[in-house]
Amino acid sequence: MEKTDAGNARAWGGSGSVKAKPLPADGRLTWVTRIAYGSGDAACNVVYGMISTLLTIFYTDYVGVSLATVGIVMLISRIFDGTSDVIMGVVTEKTKSKWGKCRPWMLWMAVPYAITAVALFTVPQTSDTLQFWYIFVAYNLCTTVVYTAINVPYGALSTRMTRSSSERDMLSIVRLVLARCGQIITVMLTMPLVKLLGNDQAAWIKAIAIWSIMAVALLIFCFAKCEEKVQVEEVVKQAKVSLGRSIKALVTNQYFWATLVLWAMTCVHTQVIGTVLPYYCKYIFGNDDWMYSILYVAEIGTLVIAAMFCPLLLRRMGKKALALAGAVLAILAQLAFMLNPESYGWVVAMTILRAIGEAPLYAIIFGMIGDTVEFGQWKNHIRQESLIFACGSMGFKVGTGVASALVSALLESAGYLSSTEGGVAQPQSALDMIHSIYAWAPIIIWGIVAVVLLFYHLDKKYPKIMADLAEREARGEM
């Protein structure tokens, strides 16, 4: 890596007309910068974590919206949401400001994100049709428009901060840790806070308002401390690339597809478990107060702690081997969960074990996606930071939308009863379905992860790729 970084430094010094600042020789970033970058995802998850986990039960059990309505809104919205990612990728590429391409969007979208998040929970008590359209519009404003305008540039930002693969791994790990801390704060505290504030819709609105203010502060911190130092296009003049050639370069980047599936699976896991777990605790364990928060924190907290050890393990094992070993452990833990699924203590223990297995992929996935940017430039002579992250985001959003809609459809088909009244007796078929989804979904998800990782070989190729790119860029070539 030292040879590669030195080559990068020579490449950046190859033109007397360069406006961009040269990268440090090793591409390292300060801890303040790493934490600021991670704060961006913490801001997203302070709000989005709550949306992806508790929004469904809020709509069904506090507003009285049917699961079928929620499922339709989620599915259709995710399709729109995926399309908006690609559009935002193009917009990001064309963005020109004194702060760069990606960074300014953290500032511009901070307040709109907070406003639209609160709007999600201010569903009027009116007819089913009007509620459907209100939820549809509010959900798309928040996720399809505003969240996308933050998340796509934010994802690409790491590739414009450093070209060091190991440093991007560190950014990915810090991002995971702080993002999950944001989730822990909101998801663990939301239900107790809602109970404290009156346990009604107004209480939910107050809770999301608190988290939204926190998100604004974190986004502004991210904007203030994350500088775009990697500006290849200002060092190496890339000829205008046609849309057709750009798309061809993307679809022929095999590691883009691999990381897309891996990213999608981590998000699908979070979506499915986050959606089903409140129902599992409420109807299997008979507790809708503290059990959900403890289980959620057990998983996310373990993810955070285990992720902190990943840098040490990465040096010995590499990305592929570490993530693959984790996937196998997650599958084994979930199989063990089935031995005693109605014992709360056993479920907590197996959740912790499963989270240890999940941690490596969650920790390094964004570093892996960053590596595909360099691979794509090496293979096709086109650098596609924003487009790769945009299309990756589109894939995971469509995937999570389908997963959310599928969960809703399965519960609906099993006869789940939506009601704002407490103590509703669910039919046995609904209870069986809740149990089945929670038991089998992780096995399917991490099985897919394991298969994809078996065919992932970019780790071994990366040093040679970066050495070749350094030589090209020293000649003024992509």
Amino acid type, 67: L
- Nearest CA among 67, 407, 148 for reference residue 268: 407
What local confidence, expressed as pLDDT, does residue 329 receive? Answer: 97
Tokens of 211: 């988290």
Tens of pLDDT, residues 404-430: 788 888 998 999 887 665 567 889 999
What is the pTM for the complete model shown? 0.74
The C-alpha atoms of residue 478 and residue 322 are separated, in whole angstroms, by 32
What local confidence, expressed as pLDDT, does residue 422 receive? Answer: 59
Tens of pLDDT, residues 285-336: 988 778 888 898 899 889 889 988 988 898 889 899 999 999 999 999 999 9
Which DSSP state fits 18? Answer: -
Tokens of 431: 């209870």
The C-alpha atoms of residue 196 and residue 348 are separated, in whole angstroms, by 25
The C-alpha atoms of residue 19 and residue 476 are separated, in whole angstroms, by 15
- Nearest CA among 369, 360, 388 for reference residue 446: 360
What local confidence, expressed as pLDDT, does residue 241 receive? Answer: 73
Angle at 288 between CA 216 and CA 283, to 5 degrees: 130
- CA dihedral in degrees (467, 460, 175, 224; nearest 10)? 0
Please give the CATH architecture assigned to the domain spanning 30-230+243-474: Up-down Bundle (1.20)
pLDDT(398) > 90: no
The C-alpha atoms of residue 471 and residue 232 are separated, in whole angstroms, by 14
Tens of pLDDT, residues 427-457: 999 999 999 999 999 999 999 999 999 999 9
More confidently predicted of 35 and 10? 35
Taking the chain, what is the end-to-end CA distance rounded to the nearest angstrom?
20
Q: CB count, 10 Å around CB of 426?
A: 18
- Burial, 475: exposed, middle or buried (Cβ in 10 Å; 0-12, 13-18, 19+)? exposed
Tens of pLDDT, residues 94-152: 888 889 999 999 999 999 999 999 999 999 988 888 999 999 999 999 988 999 999 99
The C-alpha atoms of residue 472 and residue 469 are separated, in whole angstroms, by 5
Three-class SS of 76-127: HHHHHHHHHHHHHHHHHHHCCCCCCCCCHHHHHCHHHHHHHHHHHCCCCCCC
Q: Give the phi and the psi of residue 236 in degrees, each rounded to 5.
A: -115, 115
The C-alpha atoms of residue 404 and residue 71 are separated, in whole angstroms, by 7
| Segments in 229-343 forming alpha helices (H) | 232-235, 243-251, 254-279, 291-337
Tens of pLDDT, residues 73-83: 877 887 777 78
